[in-house]
Each structure stands twice: as C-alpha cells, then as structure tokens.
A and B are shown apart, each in its own frame.
Chain A
Amino acid sequence: MVCDSWQGMLDTYLDGEIPDEEMRTYDAHVRNCPSCSVDALTRVQMKRAIQLAGKRFTPTAEFRKRIQQSVVPNRQRSFRLGWMLATAAVLILVVGTFTSSHMGNRSGRDQVFSEITDLHVATLASSSPVDVISTDRHTVKPWFQGKIPFSFNLPELQNSEFSLLGGRMTYLDQTPGAHLIYDVRKHHISVLVFQERSLPASLDENSLSPKNLPFNMETWTEGGLRYFVIGDASAADINSLAKLLRAAS
C-alpha cells in the first residue's frame, strides 16, 4: 500500500513531533488522501477523547492544604529571624508605650506611629505574612484592586538591591490600606499605604522618624496617599526605598 509509510508516522505527525519540512509534505498528503485523512481524523478524535477522559481525578481541598503546609514551613523559618526581632520590638514598644503614657504625652501622632509599628511587627510574626506572594509588581498591584479604595504605583526594582516579597490588605483604625513587604540585605521592610484623609491623626508633612521607635521609618504624603516605610534595615536603606516609591508615585 502506498500509504503504509505515511500511516506508520501518523501518530508522530499528529503529536507534532516531526520536523517542519516533513510536516508540510505530510499535511499535503493527508489532505489529498482519503484513507489517511479519515485515519488522521479518527486519531485526532481519539487524542481529544483521551485528553478529556484523562483529566479524571481531583485532589481534595484538605489534601491540597496538607501538601501546601508541608512545603511552606521553610518560608516560616525564614521569617523566624524577623519574628525574633519583632518580639524584641514588641517588648521595647511595651516599655516605650508604658513610659510615654506614664509620662502622659502620648499624642495622636505617636499613636499612629506605634500602630504602624504594630502592623509591621504583627505581619512579620504571622505565619503567612503576605496574601499575594510575588516579586512582580505587575502581579501585586492589580491584586489590590477592589480590595482597597485607591490605587498606587510600585517602583521598578531591577537595578536596586530591594526585592518585593508580596503584599496583603491591612487596616489602621478600620481604614483599609495596602501592606507591602520588601527585602533588602536580609531585612524585611514594610511599606504601608493609606488614604491620608481617613487617617485618625494628621501627620506633619515632613515627619521624620520619631525617636522612640525601635525601627527606622519614613513617612510622607503624595497625591492624597500617606506612605510609611518601616523596618529594621538601616536608615539609608529605608531612605532609598522611600525614594524609589516617591519616584514611582
């Protein structure tokens, strides 16, 4: 039979595994040969049927969770250092808060700052610090859409020492905002963004780091949004990240 040699290669052809050149010759033959084209059609139908029938078993959600948990402990471990620092920070905060309230001079501004610190600390201590895990700002930014009542821009980090770890939604006195976590030289930095008008206390335009905080921090407003950059990284690193964010917004 003339078609024998073609038929022997039919599966390979339909799997798209023969070289382009032969592919064209084959195409031409199959199109013009009734016997081969019927055969090809039958096999294509069969391939499709197997593909559909083959997607047969679905794992349970419970099992997925179990596996997910078995592969994440390592991320939690990486946060342990952050957590230990965080615990230390909480102690300092407690002492600090006690001291300042004891001294009776705790202003609304200080309260905002200590809440920002709390958010940073609590997030790093959490077993899942971020809800959207991605180093890609183009993934993280749209993730917030519909979750918070504003949008914001994130900087390109390609030529910097910073990396984006991900983000989560956050609240400051029931005001929804965005919480992003960046890494630089093994330090985690929180970037928090809120609408200025919904914050409980108005902050000075050029507020610098309050002296009593256990972290370095910078804050500013831009386009009606209030940004906080906080972390145990050096003041210089906090400042560079702040600059990147300002340039992007």
Chain B
Amino acid sequence: MSGADLQLDSFEELAMPLFNQLYNLAHWLTHNREEAEDLVQETYAKALKGFSSFKSGTNFRAWMYRILRNTFLSSRTGLKATMTVPLDAENDGPEIAVEQDTPDTLLCERRNRELLQSAIDELPVYFREVLLLCEVEEMSYQEISETLSVPIGTVMSRLSRARKALRDRLRPQPQVGTITNAMEKGANHGL
C-alpha cells in the first residue's frame, strides 16, 4: 500500500468518529435536516480533498469543525444568519462584569430542555456556535479559537455574551421595575 493510500485510510479513521457531532452542529446551524446533510457532505468532501494540506500533529477536530463552519458561513443560509448580527458586536468594549444573580434562580424552575433548545436556536449564529462548541463539544478555549480562527480573548468575550444572551432569553418576561433588568438591557450591546 502506498503512503498516499495509508493517509487516505487514516482520513476515514479520523473523520468518521466525528460524524455524529458534526451533523448535530450542522443541524443547529442550519435549522434544517436537508441543509445540514448538504453541509456535512460538503464538509467531508472538502476535508478529504484538502487532507494532504492538514498538518499531522495539529488538531484534526478543530480543522474539521473549521471547514464545516466556514462552509456554513459562506452558504446562503449562513450569510443570511450572519447579517442579522453586526460583526463588530464584540468590539464594543469589555463585558461589564456586574452580573446579578437573582434571575438565574428563577431559571432553574422553568428551565426544561425544549425551552432551552428554542432559546439556543434564537441566538445569533456567532453566539450559538461558540456556546455549542464549548458546552456540547467540550472544546477548550484554545480549540475553539482554532476552530473559529479568532483570538482566545474573542472566544472568551463571545462566550460570555452568548451565555448572557441566553440567560436573558430564558428569563421570565419583564419583571416590574427591577433596576437589574434595566441595567442588563443596557449592557446588552445592541444584541
């Protein structure tokens, strides 16, 4: 067997174990089974084709996710999804550290899976992906940074905003006159 064949064999060995997770993320991104399948298929095709350019010893998982994600962002659905959120949303100063904890306890009571899922579904795509990579794929900040091709600092601020946006969405609708809520809305950076 030639070296090239061995390498192609190992593509399958490396890439197929990621299949379920990649599909899950693709479906989260596209909101649609058919589009998710197209996205995954295109990802595998691109990855297989570009496998020779993949540097062994570097993170294969991050590499695959990056292909999937970039393919998504350049698709029609992806372009539409990114247009709903201003790209510079994360460059508008540091996250305000004041996070009041009271509303989160309410969340415990009313949280259930479906509610959470639809809340994640409604998140802007940049928030949705970073949150899923961190919590579902359990990627380290470093891995997420490689996947999204952004610095770790950006990963952290995006993650922080994503979590906050999610908490906001899960919070019971406007409580009467809580200063906290007003403050948090103000700190929402237009999202």
Which residues of A are at the interface with B, using a C-beta cutoff of 8 A? Answer: 1, 4-5, 7-8, 10-12, 15, 17, 35, 38-39, 42-43, 45-47, 49-59, 63-64, 66-68, 70-72, 74-75, 77-78, 133, 165, 183, 186, 188
Contact = CB atoms under 8 A, between A and B. Distances in A.
Nearest to B10: A135
A71 B16 contact: yes
Contact of B41 (A17, A43, A46, A70): A70
Contact of B134 (A5, A15, A66, A188): A15
20 contacts: A15-B159, A39-B99, A46-B104, A47-B135, A50-B116, A50-B131, A51-B135, A52-B113, A54-B131, A59-B20, A63-B40, A70-B44, A72-B12, A74-B5, A75-B12, A78-B1, A78-B9, A133-B9, A133-B13, A188-B1
A180 to B, nearest CB: 15
Interface of B: 1-2, 5, 8-9, 11-13, 15-16, 19-20, 23-24, 27-28, 33, 36-37, 40-41, 44-45, 48, 95, 97-99, 101, 104-105, 107-108, 111, 113, 116-117, 120, 131-132, 134-136, 138, 140-141, 156, 159-160, 163, 166-167
Contacts of A57: 23-24, 27-28, 33, 36
A55 B19 contact: no
Dominant SS among interface residues on chain A: helix
B108 A45 contact: yes
